[in-house]
Structure 1
């Protein structure tokens, strides 16, 4: 979703580097929250995100929400997996909404590390979760509070 006004336009999205530190837009309202501690709980997370988006598709009959649902489920799964594997439990996933746009936040309790985007790697070595989030999202960032590190992604038409 790169456009000339995109804050990442002109950046090489495939190089190693840090994720931009920033807070998400404040216009979004909470929809649902999940706590995941294990990879085994990711299936329930994916189903829950899909269920929430489908429920809202009735309120916003925009055919583009089909793509949004697919992208949200994938980004939620990737970022939650990162939180479980590289963070400290529990991993807290929150879905927020503003019309046909959604904000996904994933928080973990590892304050000592910063999210890093990995560059090109051979298939099977992993490390592409943040790249996937950046490619499918309108905007992505991260920030810390006194207790959690939060990675967020804005997704929608």
Structure 2
């Protein structure tokens, strides 16, 4: 089942400032859902859910491990979505192992990778961007 019937003719990019604190993850999910609704791309429902989860995980990581300002940028194109969370820290994400049965942390980027996303980190003078790119078969 598709989330929409139309595909954009060119990439759509939407920028959402995110709040500091635990509400950032929920706001990232809501912002991603609004973006998918306003700029429909033809993607499987499962992929749309993955995009929301990726936005939430990246926002959670930023708030837990970096400093403000935080923002979510989503770029949608045919068969591809880029989900980027920027923050005010130059520190690169640390790879948590998240393997212990009682671990409740260190799994965010593993979850993003498990969803099939490619991950990239880009630094700027004001902080960094953690970018996940997820693709699907368009057509």
Partner residue, 1:39: 22
Ranges in structure 2 where 5+ consecutive residues have no aligned partner: 1-9
Quick one: structure 1 residues 46 and 150, their matched pair in 2 at CA, closer, same or farther if it must change by over 3 Å?
same
Q: CA deviation at 1:63?
A: 5.0
Q: How many residues align?
A: 126
**Could you list the runs of 4 or more consecutive aligned residues of structure 1 that deviate by over 3 angstroms after TM superposition?**
none
Partner residue, 1:75: 54
Quick one: structure 1 residues 85 and 129, their matched pair in 2 at CA, closer, same or farther if it must change by over 3 Å?
same
Quick one: structure 1 residues 28 and 36, their matched pair in 2 at CA, closer, same or farther if it must change by over 3 Å?
farther
Pairing 1:151–2:130 present: yes
Q: CA deviation at 1:29?
A: 4.3
Ranges in structure 1 where 5+ consecutive residues have no aligned partner: 1-26
TM-score, normalised on structure 1?
A: 0.71
2:93 to 108, 111, 115: 115
Q: CA deviation at 1:75?
A: 0.9
Q: CA deviation at 1:28?
A: 5.0
Higher normalized contact order (CA 8 Å, seq sep 6+, divided by chain length): 1
**Does the residue aligned with 1:105 lie in a helix, a strand or coil?**
strand
Q: CA deviation at 1:97?
A: 1.4
- Asked if structure 1 preserves the Cα contact closer than 8 Å seen for 2:16 and 2:31, the reply is no
**Does the residue aligned with 1:88 lie in a helix, a strand or coil?**
coil
> How do residues 78-157 of structure 1 correspond to structure 2 at under 5 angstroms?
78-111=57-90, 113-119=91-97, 120-157=99-136
